Structure 1
Amino acid sequence: MEMDTTDLIARARAGDHDAFRDLVQGHSQELQVHCYRILGSLQDAEDALQETLVSAWRNLGEFGQRSSLRTWLYKIATNRCLDMLRANSRRPRIAPPLPEATLPEPTGAGDPAWLEPYPDVLLDHLVDQRPGPEARYESTEAISLAFITALQLLPPRQRAALVLRDVLGYHAAEVAQMLDATQESVHSALKRARATVDNHLADDGSTGSGRPARQPDTAAEHRLVARFTDALERADLDALIDLLVTDVRLSMPPVMLEYRGLDSAQRLFSAVVFRPGRTYRVVPTRANGQPAFGVYLADPHAGVYRAYTLLVITTAGDTITAITGFSNTNVMTRFGLPRTLPETE
């Protein structure tokens, strides 16, 4: 039998840790996704969630139930994220070493160095979650890699205001209260934030019918995943290029470089991925509501394939509009992917 919330709050205030856990466990995963949207990093989101729960435990006596427990928790989480973004020790981070290959000339600056993918397995229970009536973005779109990247372009308070209002659907008055701001300042922040995000998504090819949607297991996606996997494992550059749209965008956080167009893509894959003597195995997965791939590079001296990169692709029908490669292989463990694969099946 589900325990009454009022009773759980009373018990938690009296020091009952089990009651507090029961009180917040239904909100923990959505709060982590909220922190991820603002911070752009799964690791940072996990840290922010833990700090949020510690703060909520310590300050439960101040919760006057004038708002819902969920809203109160979102206020704490939002402000924890803003505190993290203000911390001098957090960003910018030390520039990472470039890949061992000589990279071709980029066409622009890439994604933020701290950007990380979010495993779909952690989103499963959020599929049916409906945002409030004020939301401008669908839940599936608001977790896409393009949207998360666009959010990182915003100043922290604009970022928080847009997520609270346009993703979660809180009223402007509620957002103002959560940010300790005036409604006028919230409206002003939203106007600027919406323009920046919409411009980025338009430039990224992620608006209108091309918006990423979390529709796994469609026939077109299955075919595309199979063709992409096959092209990588056979080191077939032409077959891979055939899957890409003309203005495809390639990026590889934490290296902040961007490559646009088929010519740039061909030069990058030739210089880095399909160098002579390299062979790969590919394990499909999903990230940010999009197809993703754990890529493993053969180690001829050890007889195994070692984790090399995690690729996330943005699709439009049977084509690929963007590929984001995460060279920090630590992210692969978050997807349940092993460090190595055997040489033979």
Structure 2
Amino acid sequence: MPEVDPPAPTRPGEVVWLEPYPEALLEGVPGPEARYEHAEAISLAFVTALQVLPPRQLAVLVLRDVMGFHAAEVAEMLDSSVDSVKSALKRARARLQRGWPQAAEPPPASGSPSEQALVASFVRAYEAGDVDALIAMFTDDITVSMPPIPLEYQGRDAAARLFAGIFGSGRRVDLVPTRANGQPAFGAYLHGSTGIRHGSGLFVLTLAGDRICAFTRFDNDVLPSFGLPRSLPG
């Protein structure tokens, strides 16, 4: 985010070491057999929720519901029994149900016209520094976070104050599209006085219906992982 004095955050964040995952690295991974859809299994919300699981349950859940292995295959990998694997998976799913907030509406399909339209509107608003247009795309309970900074902004009012401060400083960015954790993402490049645009972070959007329910900004050191340069020429 730009170097301005931000408004007070709504609350401290719970996870400070979460990293985005380039979607290109997921190509060829088999779809899960269980009830989690592929996009849910790699979303930031899901990855965050995974971090509350004990190691055994985490391993079983990832192997079964994300990687799509059969229970017998997981049991062999973990030197365990099929019954033990099934029990660990049941407990892991139950724990995630208690701790993983679900969006009120499912996100649009990846690459669908509805997703493309929402993403295009976001890019126009953000690059223009149009706070009103940006906030209009947010859900009422939007969450804005900036890991590894352990602070969050919850709700439209808090988000509006934050982005008003950012855009009010006169700083503008260009957005370069990519995807992270199955979600729309953008390399953000700050306009500089020399004409060179320097990378200022990676933005990841979590969508719910035709709105944005979470905005996560990561530091610019993740840009190379997504094939994005650290700077763009003028």
TM over 0.5: yes
Match of 1:124 in 2: 27
Q: Distance in 1 between matches of 2:92 and 2:232?
A: 44
Match of 2:167 in 1: 274
Scaled by the length of structure 2, the TM-score of the pair is 0.87
Q: Distance in 2 between matches of 1:119 and 1:159?
A: 21
Scaled by the length of structure 1, the TM-score of the pair is 0.61
User: Does the CA-based 8 Å contact 2:142-2:214 persist in structure 1?
Assistant: yes
Q: Distance in 1 between matches of 2:226 and 2:83?
A: 42
Distance 1:103 1:184, change over 3 A: farther
**TM-superposition CA deviations, 1:61-112 (whole Å, max 9, x none):** xxxxxxxxxxxxxxxxxxxxxxxxxxxxxxxxxxxxx984333333333252
Match of 1:308 in 2: 200
The offset of 1:204, in angstroms, is 4.5
Alignment match of 2:110 (pick from 191, 211, 215): 215
Q: Distance in 2 between matches of 1:263 and 1:141?
A: 27
Alignment match of 1:189 (pick from 60, 65, 88): 88
User: Does the CA-based 8 Å contact 2:10-2:152 persist in structure 1?
Assistant: yes
- Taking the TM superposition and a 5 Å limit, the aligned residue runs for 1:199-238 are 199-201=98-100, 203-205=101-103, 209-210=105-106, 212=107, 215-216=110-111, 218-238=112-132
Q: Distance in 2 between matches of 1:193 and 1:99?
A: 39
The structure showing larger relative contact order (alpha-carbon pairs under 8 Å, at least 6 residues apart) is 2
User: Does the CA-based 8 Å contact 1:144-1:289 persist in structure 2?
Assistant: yes
Q: Distance in 1 between matches of 2:21 and 2:149?
A: 18
Select between 105-114 and 291-300 the one with higher mean Cα deviation.
105-114
Q: Distance in 2 between matches of 1:268 and 1:311?
A: 15
Q: Distance in 2 between matches of 1:331 and 1:274?
A: 23
Distance 1:196 1:260, change over 3 A: farther
* 1:239 partner amino acid: A
**TM-superposition CA deviations, 1:171-222 (whole Å, max 9, x none):** 4454344223455554443333212322333x2427xx52x46521x22222
Distance 1:268 1:196, change over 3 A: farther
Identical aligned pairs, as a percentage? 53
User: Does the CA-based 8 Å contact 1:214-1:290 persist in structure 2?
Assistant: no
The offset of 1:332, in angstroms, is 1.0
- Taking the TM superposition and a 5 Å limit, the aligned residue runs for 1:63-78 are none
- Does residue 18 of structure 2 align to residue 115 of structure 1? yes
Q: Distance in 2 between matches of 1:120 and 1:250?
A: 21
Q: Distance in 2 between matches of 1:99 and 1:255?
A: 14
Q: Distance in 2 between matches of 1:149 and 1:193?
A: 14
Match of 1:50 in 2: none
Select the structure of larger CA radius of gyration.
Answer: 1
* 1:237 partner amino acid: V
User: Does the CA-based 8 Å contact 2:17-2:148 persist in structure 1?
Assistant: yes
Query: Larger strand proportion, structure 1 or 2?
Result: 2
Match of 1:167 in 2: 66
Distance 1:250 1:241, change over 3 A: same
* 1:320 partner amino acid: I
- Does residue 226 of structure 2 align to residue 335 of structure 1? yes
User: Does the CA-based 8 Å contact 2:32-2:64 persist in structure 1?
Assistant: no
Unaligned runs of 5+ in 2: none
Q: Distance in 2 between matches of 1:121 and 1:170?
A: 21
**TM-superposition CA deviations, 1:152-173 (whole Å, max 9, x none):** 2212222112112333344445
Q: Distance in 2 between matches of 1:100 and 1:182?
A: 54
Count of residues paired in the alignment:
234
SS at match of 1:175: helix
SS at match of 1:274: helix
Alignment match of 1:299 (pick from 192, 209, 219): 192
